[in-house]
Structure formats: structure tokens, C-alpha cells
Structure 1
């Protein structure tokens, strides 16, 4: 049984961190009752850095709720809702258990996993925890991004259910391990490239790495 724990959206705004420093970011999302999900993301949601966030392949950000207790125990601090800037915080959808290309019903909408998330330093700034980013990359517990196949309304109590498991069965965690820790694994990258539904930006990155490794 998959459960939606937090449902959050928010436009970019200034966030203070560290020693009176300031950054414009969309990471500080707030829980909402409902929102319309379009091909470009939730109405009322937004990102500050469009190079690394947002767009049709990255319209929805998902993070597994189970990691909250892991990080809270490791770092001894309570995390706020949507601590990682995700739209949807869910149970029983760990990176090792879902695959790039999997399709899910989320409320009235239908979404498809396109890539693991590439976390950035804003996560550490948001949670006032410098080692957090490094640990997310080390573990591959980054969450993941989705495109929208069918637009529709999502509510905070909406159910999320698997409609179609991708036949290649390549997990988000496998993709993260390749991306972060195995940049020369040509065979692994070729396997990932067989998933046509993967985000274009990842395809390009993997192709470039393969070309570099074989040149």
C-alpha cells in the first residue's frame, strides 16, 4: 500500500541560510489541499534554476518518506515536510523498488518516472546540514523525477498506484549508482539507454560518457 504523506507546491522565493546569506529557490514548498497537475508541473509550483529543475521530463519530484527517519536518526534533527523540495512524499516507493519508465496513477493524473533526482547544495542549505547532500549522493537516496502522461487534479489524500511496471526493470537506484559512482560502466549505461522513456538529459549524459570511455 502506497501512501501520500506530504503534498507540497510553491513558487521560488528568497531563502535565508547560514550566516545571513540569501538564495532564490523553489525548494521551500508548502503543503496544500489540492492542485492541478499539468504537463509542465503543478499549477502554483515553480523552480528557480530551470537548467537543472523543471520542464516536461522533470514535472514532478517524488521523495520516499522512509528516508526521513533515516536522516533524522543519522543527523539528530527533525526534518520539516517536503524537506527536499519534493512535491510528493510517499511510502513504499523506494529508489530500489521503482524503475525508470514505471507509470503511476496519482489522483486524477498519470505520471511516469524519468530519472533519479540530481540533488544540489540547496538541500543542505534548506536543512542547515552540510553533510546531507553528500550522504544522499553516496546512498543514492535522492528521490526521482517524473513526466506527466495525463493531466488532472491531485489532492493531499489522493492515492498513488502502479499502473505499469517498465519491462526493463532498471531501478532508479541502479540509475543513480551508474550516474554517481560508475561513470565508466559502459555496459550498464548501454542497458539504461535501452529505456526509451528515460529523461533526455540523462540519455545525453550517458551517451557522452560512453563515447568518452570508448574513445
Structure 2
């Protein structure tokens, strides 16, 4: 694996007409080494802190191969950073387990959750139905917490370390988030995994409703 791009977004208005919002989703590649902290990347705008950012979702990572797939599907180039990813990685697996780690430059990241698309992504793509297409594609990208802070730069090799304690996969979490009648055991397994706090809280509420 290799880090293709490091991306940062500023708060700006996106969309058109009545469908506008202020967001930092439209991230752009930046040059040189960038310091990755437990709170993310310097200068990267988080416009809805109740839903985005924070230590458990400090860094959003998307696969360069998945961008190539989307470009083919949509018939136009979808560049790194379009989906709001901070790091674009070539060779990123389609699925990871919660707790799997990536070492990039001096930084160590730990996978915590898949990206669940919101209306801002649809606005960014200029397609009200894009959220559904994103869900069906099951190429969500992944959120990470920062285990070790440090500098990263485009071109850095990326190494992978599997969570040796066993865990739940990102795609299973992605599907579970959408499940109308989730199984209690699946929810319990997810809650016990080292997932992001927001997703854990969501599953705790769902488990209470099931029980």
C-alpha cells in the first residue's frame, strides 16, 4: 500500500439553489509532510462536530482503487478528497476489521468505523440519490483514531497490522447500521469491538430496542 494523497478541506458553501450547505467535505491535496494528531489534520474544517471528527473519527481514509471504480461508474474523474477523505491510499483493502492498524510515515492509525453517507455527500456529488448508490456500492472508506501522532506525506509506504484479538469487519458494521431488524448478537459483538463512540452509541440504542 502507498499513500497517494493527503487532503484538507476548508469551510465553504457547496450545492446550488435551495440545496446548499457549509461543509469541509471538498478536500484538496496538500504538499509536503503533514502532522497527523489525535484530532486529525491541521487546517481541516469540521463543520458538524456532532457527527464528524473527534478522536475516534480523527482521520477518514479512502482507497485510490475505489476512486478509480467510481470514476468508471460515473463516467468522469472523481479525484482524491472528493468524498471528504483525509488520506487516499492505493491498495487499501475493501474491508478491514475494527482495531486493524495502518502505519504511515511516523503515524499509526486504528480502524474504528465505516463511513455512513449523509446528505452532504449527495450535495457534494450533485445527486440527491448518491447516498443510495454509495450504500449499494459498499465502498465506504474507513474512519481511524490516531494511536501515534506523526508526520505523513504523499508517497509514504503504508503497512498493515491485523487486530490479533479478532473483531467485527467494517462492512459488517456498515450493513448493521442500515439493518431494519438487526440481530441482538450482532449488535453485542459490535459494541464489544474497538469501534467509534458514535457508532457504539447507535448500536446500544438499537440493542435496547431489540431487547
Q: How does 1:21-170 map to 2 (within 5 A)?
A: 22-33=20-31, 34-96=33-95, 98-170=96-168
Preserved contact between residue 3 and residue 153 of structure 2 (Cα < 8 Å): no
How has the CA–CA distance of structure 1 residues 171 and 182 changed in structure 2, closer, same or farther, with 3 Å as cutoff?
farther
SS in 1 for 2:182: coil
How has the CA–CA distance of structure 1 residues 122 and 160 changed in structure 2, closer, same or farther, with 3 Å as cutoff?
same
Preserved contact between residue 46 and residue 53 of structure 2 (Cα < 8 Å): yes
Preserved contact between residue 63 and residue 90 of structure 1 (Cα < 8 Å): yes
How much has 1:150 moved relative to structure 2?
Answer: 0.8
Preserved contact between residue 67 and residue 80 of structure 2 (Cα < 8 Å): no
Counterpart Cα distance in 1 of 2:63 and 2:183: 27
SS in 1 for 2:21: strand
Counterpart Cα distance in 2 of 1:31 and 1:41: 15
How much has 1:21 moved relative to structure 2?
Answer: 5.0
Preserved contact between residue 67 and residue 79 of structure 2 (Cα < 8 Å): no
Q: TM-score, structure 2 length as denominator?
A: 0.91
1:114-168, Cα deviation, whole Å (9 max, x unpaired): 1111211211221223332111122332111111111111111222211343422
Root-mean-square deviation (CA, aligned residues, Å) is 1.8
How much has 1:182 moved relative to structure 2?
Answer: 5.3
How much has 1:83 moved relative to structure 2?
Answer: 1.2
Preserved contact between residue 100 and residue 166 of structure 1 (Cα < 8 Å): no
**1:207 paired residue number:** 204
How much has 1:183 moved relative to structure 2?
Answer: 4.2
Preserved contact between residue 95 and residue 172 of structure 1 (Cα < 8 Å): no
Question: Which deviates the most, 201-210 or 176-185?
Answer: 176-185
Question: Which deviates the most, 117-126 or 178-187?
Answer: 178-187
Counterpart Cα distance in 1 of 2:207 and 2:94: 24
Question: Which deviates the most, 44-53 or 125-134?
Answer: 125-134
**2:8 paired residue number:** 9
Counterpart Cα distance in 1 of 2:190 and 2:39: 25
SS in 2 for 1:5: strand
Q: TM-score, structure 1 length as denominator?
A: 0.89
How has the CA–CA distance of structure 1 residues 37 and 211 changed in structure 2, closer, same or farther, with 3 Å as cutoff?
same
Q: How does 1:171-182 map to 2 (within 5 A)?
A: 171-181=169-179
1:77-130, Cα deviation, whole Å (9 max, x unpaired): 22132110100111232342x111111112111111111112112112212233
How has the CA–CA distance of structure 1 residues 130 and 21 changed in structure 2, closer, same or farther, with 3 Å as cutoff?
closer
Unmatched runs of 5 consecutive residues or more in structure 1: none
